[in-house]
Amino acid sequence: MEECIVQTFVDKIDEMDYHSRISREERIIPLYNVTFFVGAGFPKSINNEFPSGDDLFKFDNSDIRLVDKYDELSTFCRYCGMMNTSIDLNKFKSVYYRLQLMMRNPFLHGRFWDSSNLMQVDNQFRLLVKDKLDKSNLLKYVDGNTHFNQNLPEPIYHFFNDILHRVTEHHGAPAGIRNNFLTTNYDFMVESILDACSYDTENCGINTYRGFTPNLINGSKSRISTFENQNVIPVIKLNGGAEIYDNDSGYVLDYRKDNDFSTHGIAPELILPCQEQSYSSRYFQTIFPKAVRILQETDVLVIIGYSFPEEDGLVKFLLSQFAESECDALTKHLFYITKESDVDSLRTKIMDACPFIKDNLRIYNKGFGSFVKEYYDVYSRWRRPCD
């Protein structure tokens, strides 16, 4: 069955590819949208050492109590009754939920808590998560200001190198396949892939639109701040990212390990897990409408490594925008790639989010690594992938 799923995906890509349409001498070649929606399982398919969603938010008491830069966070954890206990995902969500309640409701401030020191605690929560990613050596920063220091498995590189080079200009209009990326992850994996597959050999400033226009990228003004329709790849990070910093007048992207923000103890823009997830931040309010628009215009949606956690209610609503009615679903296709074995349970979760897509839903449960290998095998039987 999985072989049939991969073949169907190949057929859809070929159907939308401008190379195929030009060879058939079609006069009008439309622009199609293929969107990759990636969750925590996606970076693990590239590097198995990458922490899962749960592991990223597990901490020993000593990780916080014995580190000076977490003093306010340590005090807040004691205030919440976390004296000498380790923190797992559920405790993390509980303590962070209490912090968010107090920040949003001044009448809930404790005797010695106020807006200023609560903001310090929030900053240290985000620093704690960012530092864990750093300690695991899995945030692959840019090498100087040029390229990401990330080695991709060859099949994954070939897959994206093929998919990403299927758009062109035809009679003055974009044609073929435009790729979009929506991710719930904080890491740089999507950017590393785009960098590896880019024809730009001098700079890591890939033509991406982030849902906002950064004031600076790696300390320098962005080379491009406005885009035409065909020459940009939208990359929207729904939960923020380890490179996104708020500098009051807007946002800055900084992929350097020792940037001005990190050396001054300023945490990046991260939306952390919470018992009652809040998406009221300025960042999320900025990028969410862009993500909705992308999904509404998407023809093929590929979900990789996303497990539909209960607290992500708004993200599930976002996915429902892919097909808002049966008419929308007639011409759209959803491929769900995972390693989970319970296909029936997965189908139920997907149908809860996208109830109209049932006839065009395909679940591949061998993992993304196997998917890209089969993609290459199927494709190479009758056509050589694009260089």
CA–chain centroid gap for 320, Å, is 17
Q: Mean pLDDT across the stretch 233-238?
A: 95
Of 240, 245, 279, whose CA–CA distance to 259 is shortest?
Answer: 245
Q: How many whole angstroms separate alpha carbon 214 and alpha carbon 247? A: 10
Q: Over 80: is that where the pLDDT of 177 sits?
A: yes
- Of the pLDDT bands very low, low, confident and very high (cuts 50, 70, 90), residue 1 is very low
**Token duo for residue 166:** 């299927």
Q: Which fold has domain 2-49+147-380?
A: Rossmann fold (3.40.50)
Residues in CB range of 61: below 8 A, 6 or more apart:
82, 84, 85, 86, 87
Lowest mean pLDDT, pick from 29-43, 44-58, 256-270, 341-355: 44-58
Q: What is the pLDDT of residue 83?
A: 72
What is the Cα gyration radius of the chain? 22
Q: How many whole angstroms separate alpha carbon 292 and alpha carbon 296? A: 6
Q: Mean pLDDT across the stretch 66-90?
A: 88
Per residue in 311-365, pLDDT (tens digit) is 778 888 899 999 999 998 899 999 999 988 888 888 999 999 999 998 899 999 9
Q: What is the pLDDT of residue 182?
A: 98
Lowest mean pLDDT, pick from 196-200, 233-237, 357-361: 196-200
Q: What is the pLDDT of residue 171?
A: 59
- Of the pLDDT bands very low, low, confident and very high (cuts 50, 70, 90), residue 137 is confident
Q: What is the pLDDT of residue 85?
A: 78
Q: What is the pLDDT of residue 159?
A: 95
Q: What is the pLDDT of residue 151?
A: 83
- Of the pLDDT bands very low, low, confident and very high (cuts 50, 70, 90), residue 285 is very high
- Of the pLDDT bands very low, low, confident and very high (cuts 50, 70, 90), residue 202 is low
Q: What is the pLDDT of residue 385?
A: 45
Ordered by start, the domain boundaries in the chain are 2-49+147-380, 55-135
For residue 120, CA distances in Å to 43, 133, 137, 217, 339 come to 30, 20, 26, 25, 39
pTM: 0.92
Q: What is the pLDDT of residue 26?
A: 63
Report the percentage of the chain scoring pLDDT > 70.
90
Q: What is the pLDDT of residue 176?
A: 83
Q: What is the pLDDT of residue 386?
A: 43
Q: Mean pLDDT across the stretch 99-111?
A: 93
Number of H helices, E strands in the chain: 15, 13
Q: What is the pLDDT of residue 21?
A: 64
Of 297, 239, 210, whose CA–CA distance to 34 is shortest?
Answer: 297
Q: Over 50: is that where the pLDDT of 387 sits?
A: no
Lowest mean pLDDT, pick from 38-42, 95-99, 163-167, 236-240: 163-167
